[in-house]
A and B are shown apart, each in its own frame.
Chain A
Amino acid sequence: EPEVTQTPSHQVTQMGQEVILRCVPISNHLYFYWYRQILGQKVEFLVSFYNNEISEKSEIFDDQFSVERPDGSNFTLKIRSTKLEDSAMYFCASGYNSPLHFGNGTRLTVT
């Protein structure tokens, strides 16, 4: 069964550095999402992406965040200048007429 893949599985970065989290959604899916889960807390919606543009974003998704689908297969989340509070598990998901299919996540640790 096709699956959503995320790389890397774990990323450690220093505060203020830029990070790019990568995702390969399921190939025939049209909707793409990023969620995050701070340790011990609930899953939070960041952004959804459709037809090569952001369709919805949460208040968490400020100017430090951006998303791209650079080559028709990858879907990336960039955090421009990381903060300690960005440490979390980041999940990519894709969908087509539901349900969502999730990747295994990237654990981001900001030191």
Chain B
Amino acid sequence: AQSVTQLDSHVSVSEGTPVLLRCNYSSSYSPSLFWYVQHPNKGLQLLLKYTSAATLVKGINGFEAEFKKSETSFHLTKPSAHMSDAAEYFCVVSFSNTGNQFYFGTGTSLTVIP
């Protein structure tokens, strides 16, 4: 069965330190991978996407993610956390055999400590 897993339900970092949010998928088909951010009482905003071009993808607000096929991973990183990064982050995947069906991870809540 195809799936996506976010390994951490909560991540807490100090302001100015690096952020790592982990995402793994399971499928034998080629993935398209997305990270969305949800601030409190807001909708989901696309941070970045991977759809088969460069494996290192840069997104908005200084975030980036690297697609590693061998590890079936698409971890989200940022070199230096800002207070405004505190939010819920969702890894979302679609696969080449079910192109318009999107699989959501359970989300990672990021807390940034001043």
Residues of A whose CB lies within 8 Å of any CB of B are 31, 33, 35, 42-45, 48, 50, 55-56, 91, 95, 98-105
Contact = CB atoms under 8 A, between A and B. Distances in A.
Nearest to A96: B100
B46 A99 contact: yes
B94 interface: yes
Interface of B: 32, 34, 36, 42-46, 49, 51, 90, 92, 94, 99-102, 104-107
Contacts, number: 48
A24 B105 CA distance: 26
Contact of B36 (A95, A98, A102, A104): A102
Contacts of B46: 99-101
A105 B43 contact: yes
B21 to A, nearest CB: 15
A42 B94 contact: no
Contacts of A103: 43
Given A42-B107, A43-B90, A98 B43 contact: no
A103 B35 CA distance: 16
Contact of B104 (A45, A50, A55, A56): A45
Nearest to B109: A40
Given A42-B107, A43-B90, A43-B107, A102 B101 contact: no
Nearest to A6: B43
B92 A102 contact: no
Contact of B101 (A44, A48, A101, A105): A48
A91 B43 contact: yes
